[in-house]
Structure 1
Amino acid sequence: MWTALTLSTVLLAGQANAEKTTFANQPGQGTIGPESSAVDHHASGGWQTGQQQVGQPGPQMLPGPNPYVAMDPYGQMMMPNMAASYGVMPVGYGMPMEAGYGMPGQPMMDPNVMPVGYGHGGHGGCQSCGGGGCDSCMGGHGGGLQGGCNACGGAGCGGCCGLTGGGVYCGFSRGIGNAWDLSNYGGRCAPRYFDVGFDATFFTFEPGNNNTVLTSQGGANNPVLDTQDSSFDYKGGGRLTLQRSAFVGSYFEFSYLGFGNWASSRSVTGPGNLFSPFSGFGTDPVAPGYAEVDSANLQSFETSNNFDSFEINLRRFFTSPNCWLQSSYWAGFRYVRVADDSIYLSSGNTGGLIYEVDATNDMYGVQFGLDSTVRLTTRWSVTAFGEVGVYGTTATQKSTISFGNIEINERASQSRASMVAEGGAMSTFRLHPRVTLRAGYQVVYVDGIALSSDSFNFQTGGVSPLGTALANRPGVLNDNGNAIYHGPTVGMEYTW
């Protein structure tokens, strides 16, 4: 059984890898089929080949045509040893070329790639060029195809090898970008695809509840505790994302997002002079009010909140002609559950009371989202994203009031339309052909939900005793609340 499971897993993984495609709308670009193995390329050491004599082809075969590599300015694909159409040299597309490409006797150099290990010169900025000196940056001091130091804006090697580099031969993809690029076709035109993504979240919770006074000291008009006195720290959570290729340039994406459990507790004490909203703070009935909740020594309020979300989307990628700007849009189905609990407690010499309210919101809806990515280098990018959905929400509250030998249970439920919006910014850095690190900040906003603190019902009509006042009372549900969850995220993406 385990052997069969292992074989099926390998076959599925192989099929998924074969279906991963790059997609771009640059004129003349084709769609690349199965992705070549970045790991094999890295293991072979081909990414850091030393200097090779021009016009002396080695025993290895020349690479096949790459749609992102050799295209003239008119969108025609260039083949090895083919002269450029219209008399134009197709310099600067995609990956570095070996000797034998382009014009006879002249190797084509990708201006976005810094060669590695080219000799040992002795000029300014040598250390930032791996100790190779300025001559090894782009070959000499002059202009022309190889350019040398002048091609780096006159700043020498130091101007080419920084985080974003500079000059015509450096560009944004220089230095930290292509200098460490380990994949054959992992250049700037490849979409940011991954099979599994995981983020650790550190979010706080801000409830948008109505303010209800819970305690007044020494009678009415002196509030000392209310439902908005709660505050919440940052709590850990997580997001798990799985992607599976659907067709060219599109993927199915499943994601789970979970936060919590946030909890907050506030309390006040007094020498038998704390009054509750059940009696209008000692006014109805008049002082001393209800023995179970008035003239109390201690009153407290506790609340907690949890958020869970499951979604499945179809995501479509597209790329700008120069590949530095990439975007995607998606549409799909999402389920969100928000659970919120509160407890109001009163304790005194004449009695005590516990009032618990549990509110749950089950939200089903459709959503649409988009993101936009700027490729600062071939390995480092910054993304802004957002999505919004409309949901049908069923809100339910269950409450229990306990005092003495009496327990009163109340229920209420209703449906409405709600909204969930999510957005943020993320920076990603490709650490390895299969591993990308990411970090950012995210905000989730939920509107049209029931929060437990909004569903406290303190109406008694001044009827005494308290048990009679609360008997056969209908349940109350307020579903006009909202919530904001926000904080930093740190995670990784993995591709197999």
Structure 2
Amino acid sequence: MHRMIPIKATCLTLFAAVGFALGLSLSPTQAQPPSVVHADADYDASGYVTPAGMVPPSMYQGSALPLGMSSGVMPVGFNGPVDCDGGGNNGMFSGGMLGGGGCQNGYCEGGCENGECGEDYDAGIFGRRARCRLLGGRGFAANMTACGGCAHPGCRACGGLTNTRFFCMFCRGGGCEACQFLGRGYLLGAIGSLLPYQDAGRGAQRWYDLSAEALFLSHSTGNGSGVVTTQGVSGTPVLSIGDADSDDLEAGMRLSAAMIFGAGGNLEFTYMGGQEWDSTATVNDPTAQLYSVISDFGVTPAGGYDDTDQSLSQSLGNQSEFDSFELNYRRRTVGPYNRFQGSWLVGLRHIRYNDRLIYSAIGLDNNGVGGDRRFFTSSDRNKNRLFGPQAGFDLWYNVMPGINLGFGLKGAWMQNDVKRDSFLAFNSEAPLATPGSVEFNDTDQDSTVMGEFETTLLYRLSHSWTVRSSYYLIGIDEVRFGAFDSQNIRNFAAAVPSTPPNANRAQTDNLVIQGFSVGAEYIW
């Protein structure tokens, strides 16, 4: 044992000597600041391109600066003062300690996934949930138990609650479903489900297989507006033809079907109509002092006719019906950039429009004989049947995928076949001034023109279903309306013919139909 001690001592002595010799051979050193190796580098001439999001190399030139400064050599993990998505602020809670995410200016900014600060980033030494709790939504000075959702709904620090919960009359801050309806996005999610279907893209070509709409239309009346009845001989007007105008909106339908017919082309069948307008206007006078235009309001003959004057009641009624049928070939095209689309069409159109005007009068007893009331009734009905070729076009603007706004025009030259049915019934029509009636008919034919304007808004809900709403304006020239032909009635009553005379030409005027529709389109 005593023999080993000199050996160990000798080894230690040798190691110490070698270390001392090496120390003497090295020159003394001092800490120096980092030198700028590439201070004079010409990055522009070298063709160097700074990647997107990276600070240009020229910003790195200069002396090394302490941690937290805005220039010089930047410390590892430093990402600058950005929001949670950018990586946090530049203090001790930057990416290195708190993780890849962070809190801008001491609280959680937006930009985190679903408002959850640091959800998609590294947790760091504290963890992403602890990070928001630690900062308390407003920095260290904030009360960590009063986190207002880090100023954004959904922060992990407060479990998705917002400050609005303190105003809730149900839970008073507990965070029930009632006060979190907005904060958790339920309402926004419901609204988001109503966004249009966009998978077909902005360039989806205009198309439908079936279309059905509820149609509400009004129409103009061409019966005139003259006075029909006065109170007293040539007295105050109390009833006019315009009082029976049936121009209210009436419900009908519009149905359309399309079938592909060649590249870019299709056949379309469209029906619109079903409207039936009906209105009545009545005046009463218990003193039987109502006089009609047939006797020039009681002047010719003096005191008027027994059946049409000295009346207790007189009334007017107007009835109208409308239907339209179309068969068209349409050719579609798409404009540049898919924003505009259009089409042109040619086809055939048939329109039916019926108009009737009814006038009636009820007077005093028949001179005290039999106790019957004197009466008079006039009904004049005109059936318009229009048929001819038409042509037109439409233009559509794609506001965004799933929403389209368009308008269209159509024009047609048509032949109008008119059939007129007139009916008269009064107290003294038959021989010996007894009650009777007479009916006569005639026909006429004329050419006319028609024009239609349409504007439509489409909102696509799914691949198959689209909601649509349209406005329609249809104008037709020289349409026959029901008339109150006082001169024809006067001639007929005075002559008391055994055969009725030919009916005079009916009232002719322009017909205007307009209204709107709401419905849906379907694609197989």
TM > 0.5: yes
Tell me if 1:217 matches 2:231.
yes
Tell me if structure 1 keeps the 8 A contact 2:291–2:309: yes
Find the partner of 1:226 among 225, 228, 240: 240
- Give me the whole-angstrom Cα distance separating, in 2, the residues matched to 1:424 and 1:283: 51
2:223–2:507 CA contact under 8 A, matched in 1: no
1:370 matched to 2:387? The reply is no
Match status 1:311 vs 2:326? yes
Residue 324 of structure 1 is matched in structure 2 by 339
- What is the CA distance between 1:283 and its match in structure 2? 1.8
Structural RMSD (CA): 3.0
Partner of 2:510: 482
- Distance in 1, Cα, partners of 2:488 & 2:479: 26
Q: Which residue of 2 aligns with 1:286?
A: 302
- Structure 1 pair 126/316, CA: closer, same or farther in 2 (3 Å)? farther
Comparing 388-397 with 402-411, which one deviates more in the overlay? 402-411
Out of 431, 453, 459, the position equivalent to 1:423 is: 453
Structure 1, unpaired ranges of 5+? 1-119, 137-174
Q: CA deviation at 1:177?
A: 11
TM-fit CA distance, 1:419:
2.0
* Deviation at residue 418 of structure 1 after TM alignment: 1.6
**d(CA) in 2 for partners of 1:125 and 1:206?**
60
The answer to whether 1:191 aligns with 2:205 is yes
Moved more, 305-314 or 205-214: 205-214
What is the aligned length?
331
Structure-2 separation of matches of 1:278 and 1:327: 56
Q: d(CA) in 2 for partners of 1:315 and 1:259? A: 25
In 2, the alpha carbon distance for the partners of 1:273 and 1:341 equals 27
- Closer, same or farther: CA 305–284 of 1 in aligned 2, 3 Å: same
Q: Match for residue 457 of structure 1?
A: 485
Structure 2 matches for 1:50-89, cutoff 5 A?
none
Shift of 1:234: 1.5
Q: What displacement does 1:131 show?
A: 7.3
SS at match of 1:472: coil
Aligned pair partner of 1:357 in 367, 380, 395? 380
Structure-1 residue corresponding to 2:417 = 394
Mapping for residues 72-151 of structure 1, pairs under 5 Å: 124=110
Q: Which residue identity lines up with residue 341 of structure 1 in the other structure?
A: R
Alpha-carbon distance, 1:206 to partner: 1.9
> Secondary structure at the residue paired with 1:260?
strand
In 2, the alpha carbon distance for the partners of 1:178 and 1:310 equals 35
1:258-297 equivalences in 2 (<5 Å): 258-270=273-285, 271-287=287-303, 289-297=304-312
Structure 2 contact 478–508 (Cα < 8 Å) conserved: yes
Shift of 1:235: 1.1
Q: CA deviation at 1:482?
A: 2.1
The higher radius of gyration belongs to 2
> Distance between the aligned counterparts of 2:490 and 2:193, measured in 1?
74
Q: Secondary structure at the match of 1:359?
A: strand
Aligned pair partner of 2:264 in 249, 255, 259 = 249
Q: Give the direction of change, closer, same or farther, for the CA distance of 1:414–1:126 in structure 2 (3 Å limit).
A: farther
Query: Cα 1:256–1:464, aligned 2, differ >3 Å: closer, same or farther?
Result: closer
Distance 1:407 1:492 in 2: 50
Are the counterparts in 2 of residues 460 and 469 from structure 1 also a CA contact under 8 Å? no
Q: Would you say the 8 A contact 1:197–1:492 is kept in 2?
A: yes
What secondary structure sits across from 1:210 in the alignment? Answer: coil
Could you tell me how far 1:470 is from its partner in structure 2? Answer: 9.4
Cα pair 1:211 1:228 within 8 Å, conserved: yes
What one-letter code is carried by the residue in structure 2 that aligns with 1:225? L
1:468 aligns with: 496
Check conservation: 2:492, 2:500, Cα contact below 8 A: no
Name the counterpart of 1:9.
none
Deviation at residue 469 of structure 1 after TM alignment: 7.1
TM-score normalised by structure 1 residue count: 0.62
Output the CA distance in 2 between the equivalents of 1:306 and 1:441.
20
2-structure distance, mates of 1:368, 1:131: 57
C-alpha distance in 2, partners of 1:387/1:494? 24
Query: How far does residue 411 in structure 1 lie from its aligned partner after superposition?
Result: 1.5
Distance apart, 1:227 and its partner CA: 1.4
1:438 equivalent to 2:468? Answer yes
Counterparts of 2:449 and 2:260, CA distance in 1: 29
Q: CA deviation at 1:301?
A: 0.2
Match of 1:334 in 2: 349
Look up the match of 1:203: 217
| Alpha-carbon shift at residue 478 of structure 1 (Å) | 2.3
